[in-house]
Every structure is written in structure tokens, then in C-alpha cells.
């Protein structure tokens, strides 16, 4: 169990760490806005720490949007129906394995307007961490579904988003990301 939790954490945080430069490189406006918040809070003298979370809310928006836009896994962990059930007219027999189609949910325009676009601004009203939204039965209040849903939600939810925030804040404080270019021709 501990090894599985470690590997899951490593994959999620690792993918986020790998993808942050891509997310902001493809969206210079996002990088600029994040850097403005970081500079206003920390300046050049120190890197962001967890105590800066409330003062740098746009980093949280970038993490949430990145995890929604390009989730680590296309489905959540499997669940099993404990009893016969019906959902929108479909019969689900007891012991059926059910997956939450994370990628599909995250790309429904009815839930996430213009869902194929990377837009951290969609999370400006979700200033808290994912664990604060995951427990609600009102799906419209959820930020995203990467950690699953129901009683079997990811036990590392409390640590994961905090860790991703720290990585993103420090990377964006220390580096400016831009497309690669040929030093000879000067072209991207």
C-alpha cells in the first residue's frame, strides 16, 4: 500500500513538474500574471514558501487548470457497485467495476466552458485546495476530478496539491520559460 501511494504521488507530482514549463510556455500571459503575483509577494530576495499561498492565488489556479486540462490519468481508480443500481436509465449490476472518466469530464464544455483551452482564470473562484472541494456532493462545486470521488478518494489529496503549488511557485519565481530557439537563426 505504501509503495502504491508513493508511486501515485511520484507520477502526479512528477507530471505536474514536467508540464508546468509547457503550460506557461504555451500561455505567456499566464506566466506573466503568475510572475507579477510572485514578485509582489516575494521579490527577488526569497523564493515563495507555503506561507505565501494566500498571497499568490494564481499559482493555485495554474495547478488546477493544468491538472484539469491534461490529467495524469484518463480515469480514476476503479470503484465497485455494492448493489444493483440504475443511472440515467442504465442498469448497473452489483459488483460491476465503475471508473470515473476523468479526461472526459474535464473536457465537457457543459462543465468547463471552452474546455480544450488552457485557462487558469476559470479557477479564480476556487481559492482553496482540492481537498476542500472534493467532499461536496454538489458536483458543480468541484474544481476537478483527478483525485477521484466518493469514499475512495485519493488519500494523498492533502499533500499533492500543496506539493505541486510549491514546485510551480518556485519554478516560476526562479525561471522564465520560453519556446526553444535556434541560436544561429534566432527562430523558434
With left for phi above 0 and alpha for psi between -120 and 50, is residue 119 left, alpha or beta? beta
Is residue 61 marked as binding?
A: no
Contact yes or no for 120/24 (Cβ under 8 A): no
- Given a contact cutoff of 8 angstroms between Cβ atoms, the answer to whether 88 and 95 are in contact is no
Binding site feature residues: 154
Binding site feature residues for heme: 154
Amino acid at each position: 500500500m505504501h509503495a502504491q501511494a508513493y508511486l501515485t504521488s511520484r507520477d502526479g507530482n512528477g507530471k505536474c513538474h514536467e508540464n508546468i514549463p509547457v503550460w506557461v510556455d504555451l500561455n505567456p500571459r499566464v506566466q506573466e500574471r503568475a510572475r507579477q503575483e510572485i514578485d509582489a509577494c516575494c521579490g527577488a530576495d526569497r523564493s515563495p514558501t507555503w506561507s505565501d499561498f494566500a498571497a499568490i492565488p494564481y499559482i493555485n489556479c495554474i495547478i488546477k487548470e493544468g491538472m484539469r486540462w491534461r490529467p495524469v490519468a484518463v480515469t480514476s481508480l476503479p470503484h465497485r457497485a455494492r448493489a444493483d443500481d440504475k443511472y440515467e436509465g442504465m442498469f448497473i449490476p452489483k459488483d460491476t467495476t465503475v471508473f470515473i472518466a476523468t479526461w472526459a469530464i474535464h473536457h465537457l464544455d457543459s462543465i468547463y466552458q471552452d474546455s480544450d483551452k488552457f485557462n487558469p482564470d476559470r479557477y479564480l473562484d476556487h481559492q482553496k485546495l482540492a481537498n476542500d472541494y472534493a467532499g461536496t456532493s454538489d458536483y458543480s462545486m468541484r474544481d476537478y476530478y483527478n483525485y477521484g470521488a466518493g469514499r475512495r478518494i485519493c488519500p494523498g489529496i492533502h499533500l499533492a496539491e500543496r506539493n505541486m503549488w510549491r514546485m510551480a511557485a518556485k519554478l516560476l519565481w526562479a525561471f522564465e520559460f520560453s519556446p526553444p530557439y535556434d541560436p544561429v537563426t534566432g527562430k523558434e
